[in-house]
């Protein structure tokens, strides 16, 4: 017997066994990043598109350190505050990586880094028409998630809480409702701070989670990466297993009959 | 004859007739992990030698970096 294996996570052309998606930013070194990716068991890493620093061309580039046979690369449009910039960045990413996948971010403002919902929907429609597999970073509003699904997104990526805040899943009910509204992959992205946040997101029915700061910003990033691997698996299994109903008062697990000193009725 | 381009926001003087591969060479960029835009439009690698450059053209040279 034993517990049957989980089915793989399919997003557009992607197929992943690990449901933990990892960012590649904010690591102290490429070596630390690779150690964390190994410990996390992740098969997908996100990258950003930026200007080449023309004054300082020394050093190796990120992709020199990533084994592309082991890891899928998901480019993002992080840092884009307009639809036009997000579209440009997505097209540059496709040129750089020859992949239809894009993690679409259209950011509303630099203080919250929360996504601009209307811009995200508009950009999703345009990129889908251009053949992109759009993984849309969005706020946790369930109706917005459903609208992005209707717009042709390959996956929806509601934020747990603001990027880099480490506050976990602010609105668990919204994630649950969003889950109930869409069939396509739902990845909780942004704001997760520690292992219990990851387990919670998965228990709520997320198909996966995307992490970066929670690992890169931990005191021991490699150990936290491993914790996240276990949390992701634990939360997923708990979701598939179906939790027991919660109740207000106690219900004994040991038999209530046969206690010492029990008065027997005749 | 030379002309001035704006490369990643900075003025760069190049000989007239310079094409995108030549520009990258001048800047010391090896072209395998970069993508290029001219005046906000992507120029696919296959078209790098077809695109004529004019004075004042804005060139963006981008690559991939760590990010979440």
Distance from CA of B58 to the nearest CA of A (A): 13
**Contact at CB, B42 and A91, closer than 8 angstroms:** yes
| Positions of chain A with pLDDT under 70 | 1, 57-60, 266
Residue B38 in any domain: the answer is yes
CB pairs A-B closer than 8 Å? 98
Residues sharing a CB contact under 8 Å with residue B43, sequence separation 6 or more, in sequence order: B20, B36, B37, B51
B7 contact residues in A (CB cutoff 8 A): 54
Taking Cα atoms as reference points, which of A204, A203, A157, A162 lies closest to residue A184? A157
Residue B7 in any domain: the answer is yes
Residue B68 in any domain: the answer is no
The shortest CB-CB distance from B44 to any of A25, A33, A95 is to A95
Domain boundaries, chain A: 9-51+61-241
Distance from CA of A204 to the nearest CA of B (A): 22
Q: What is the pTM of this model?
A: 0.91
> How many Cα atoms occupy the beta-carbon half-sphere of A244 within 13 Å?
4
DSSP code string of A6-64? PPPEEETTEEES--EEEE--S-SSHHHHHHHHHHHT--EEEEEEEE--TT---S--GGG
Task: Say if strands A208-211 and A20-23 run parallel, antiparallel, or are unpaired.
Answer: parallel
User: What is the ipTM, given to two decimal places?
Assistant: 0.93
Residue A47's pLDDT is 95
Residue A57's pLDDT is 64
**Contact at CB, B34 and A96, closer than 8 angstroms:** yes
The shortest CB-CB distance from B62 to any of A46, A52, A210 is to A52
How wide is the angle at C-alpha A88 spanned by C-alphas A45 and A52, nearest 5°?
Answer: 65
Domain boundaries, position B14: 2-62
Taking Cα atoms as reference points, which of B2, B35, B33 lies closest to residue B17? B2
Total tally of structural domains belonging to chain B:
1
Residue A67's pLDDT is 87
- CATH number of the domain that residue B22 is part of: 3.10.20.30
Residues of A taking part in catalysis: 103
Residue A92's pLDDT is 97
pLDDT tens digits, one per residue of B13-64? 999 889 999 999 888 887 678 999 999 999 999 999 988 899 999 999 999 9
How wide is the angle at C-alpha A36 spanned by C-alphas A30 and A37, nearest 5°?
Answer: 90
Residue B29's pLDDT is 86
Architecture of the domain whose range is A9-51+61-241: Alpha-Beta Barrel (3.20)
Q: In this structure, is the dihedral angle defined by the CA atoms of residues A149, A153, A159 and A162, taken in order, positive or negative?
A: negative
Residue A158's pLDDT is 98
């Amino acid at each position: 017997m034993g517990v049957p294996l989980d089915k793989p996570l399919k997003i557009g052309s992607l197929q992943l066994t690990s449901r933990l998606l990892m960012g590649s930013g904010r690591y102290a070194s490429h070596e630390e990043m690779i150690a964390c990716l190994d410990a996390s068991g992740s098969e997908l890493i996100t990258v950003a598109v930026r200007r080449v620093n023309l004054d300082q061309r020394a050093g190796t580039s990120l992709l020199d350190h990533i084994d592309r046979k082991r890891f899928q690369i998901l480019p993002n449009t992080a840092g884009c505050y307009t639809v036009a910039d997000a579209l440009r960045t997505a097209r540059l990413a496709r040129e750089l990586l020859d992949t239809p996948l894009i993690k679409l971010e259209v950011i509303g403002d630099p203080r919250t880094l929360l996504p601009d919902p209307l811009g995200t929907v508009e950009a999703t429609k345009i990129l889908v028409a251009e053949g992109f597999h759009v993984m849309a970073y969005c706020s946790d509003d369930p109706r917005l998630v459903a609208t992005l699904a209707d717009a042709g997104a390959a996956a929806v990526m509601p934020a747990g809480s603001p990027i880099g805040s480490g506050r976990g899943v602010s609105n668990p009910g919204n994630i649950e409702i969003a889950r109930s509204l869409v069939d396509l992959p739902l990845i909780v992205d942004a704001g997760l701070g520690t292992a219990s946040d990851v387990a919670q997101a998965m228990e709520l029915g997320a198909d996966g989670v995307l992490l970066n700061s929670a690992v890169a910003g931990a005191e021991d990033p490699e150990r936290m990466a491993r914790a996240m691997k276990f949390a992701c698996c634990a939360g997923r299994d708990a979701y598939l297993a179906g939790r027991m109903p919660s109740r207000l008062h106690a219900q004994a697990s040991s038999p209530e009959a046969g206690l010492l000193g029990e008065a027997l009725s005749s | 004859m030379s002309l001035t381009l704006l490369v990643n926001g900075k003025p760069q003087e190049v000989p007239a007739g310079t094409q995108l591969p030549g520009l990258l060479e001048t800047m010391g960029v090896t072209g395998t992990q970069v993508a290029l835009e001219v005046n906000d439009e992507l120029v696919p690698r296959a078209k790098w030698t077809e695109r004529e450059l004019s004075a004042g053209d804005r060139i963006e040279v981008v690559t991939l970096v760590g990010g979440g």
